[in-house]
Amino acid sequence: MANKAYKFRIYPNAEQKILLAKTFGCCRFVYNHWLDRKIKQYKNDKTSVTYTTCAKEMAQLKKTSEFSFLQEVDSVSLQQSLRHLDTAFQNFFRQPKNGFPRFKSKKQSKNSYSTVCINRNIDIENGCIKLPKIGLVKLKQHRKIPVDYKLKSVTISQTPSRKYYVSILFEYEKQVQNKELLSFLGLDYSMHELYKDSNSNEPAYPRYYRSAEKKLAKEQRKLSHMQKGSSNRNKQRIKVAKLHEKVADQRKDFLHKLSRQIANAYDCICIEDLNMKAMSRYLHFGKSVSDNGWGMFTAFLKYKLEEQGKRLIRVDKFFASSQTCNVCGYKNNATKDLSIREWDCPQCGTRHDRDVNAAINIKNEGMRMLLA
């Protein structure tokens, strides 16, 4: 069995928006309340509070008059909030680099909550989605869902620009046959063009953030001059949020289409296993790294290939792809200088474009890894 999520925009009415806001707030309260409870108990006697204990305590808390408001929202969403807290703690103790769970702020611009499908309490019908305690909400369904898909859970979210979305998780029987790998393509990451491939092609990436940077700076400057808490500031904040969302949507649309073209044309794609977060943090071109969305692109490419029984191969980031001649194998250490974009091999005399040569070497190394 496998899982697949579909994300659709929803259009709640005024009453439903109030109920959604109340659910967001209750889930945030539950998360923060038991996070504080876990921290205090660990400080007192070095023991942890399990999910089961938290769930029992919440059931008792809901019966009190002070916290009776918790009964007004979907109970499963509150349980899911506790599960998310428990998962956050487990992830931290398994790998501390994930970070200790933090309290959720009431002022955060993005709200969300999750709930599980039980006895068809969630369903899609007549252009609407039925949500527990919320009712039928108008849904913009832009793609058809296969009839054999089983609805498992949903996550309702609100963006900073006050748009509402629902992410619906389905379970289905996965029957993908591995395809014989005949056609290969190597991709070398490029700061400006997104990548250069082993066939000397590049996608001419539009660089959406750079194009909108001046307009964003102008609107953000207006926002910074407005009085905090005023209605005009809130309107301007939404305007800035819409600009950021437009850039993000343009980038995602371009990367989805590009990854689909490549996944359909080739059986195996070879790329470098790069740490993009470290590159954006420690180097001086963080905006360019974030703008081209290489990490998002490779994630799209991976699942699109796997759906067709194809492969994405990640070559070690320390593999000397840019320094090695793809013809004779000579390693030219002078090309460590990033300003050298073209070079002649001292051994065989072949002239190389730095990025194309690297892409060919990445493809060859990926093919070698498959045979090893």
The whole-angstrom separation of Cα 276 and Cα 265 is 26
**Encoded tokens for 327:** 């013809």
Q: How many CB atoms lie within 10 A of CB 208?
A: 20
- Which amino acid is it at 21? A
Whether 272 is catalytic: yes
3 state SS of 4:
strand
Strand order, beta sheet including 164-172:
111-116, 150-158, 164-172, 2-11, 135-140, 128-131, 123-125
Which of 148, 239, 188, 135 shows the shortest CA–CA distance to 354?
188
Whether 316 is catalytic: no
The whole-angstrom separation of Cα 153 and Cα 114 is 7
Please answer whether residues 191 and 203 qualify as being in contact, where contact means their C-beta atoms are separated by less than 8 angstroms. Answer: no
Catalytic residue among 74, 291, 355, 365: 355
> For strand 268-272 and strand 184-190, is the pairing parallel, antiparallel, or unpaired?
parallel
Catalytic residue among 74, 272, 291, 365: 272
Catalytic residue among 86, 188, 219, 365: 188
Residues near 292 by beta carbon (within 8 Å), at least 6 away in sequence = 191, 192, 194, 205, 207
Beta bridge partners of 231: none
Instruction: Give the chain's count of helices (H) and strands (E).
Output: 9, 13
Distances (CA, A) of 141 to 8, 50, 124, 128, 291: 6, 39, 10, 9, 29
The whole-angstrom separation of Cα 315 and Cα 360 is 12
Please answer whether residues 188 and 201 qualify as being in contact, where contact means their C-beta atoms are separated by less than 8 angstroms. Answer: no
Phi-psi region of 204 (alpha: psi -120 to 50; beta: other; left: phi over 0): left
- The residues assigned a catalytic role are 188, 272, 355
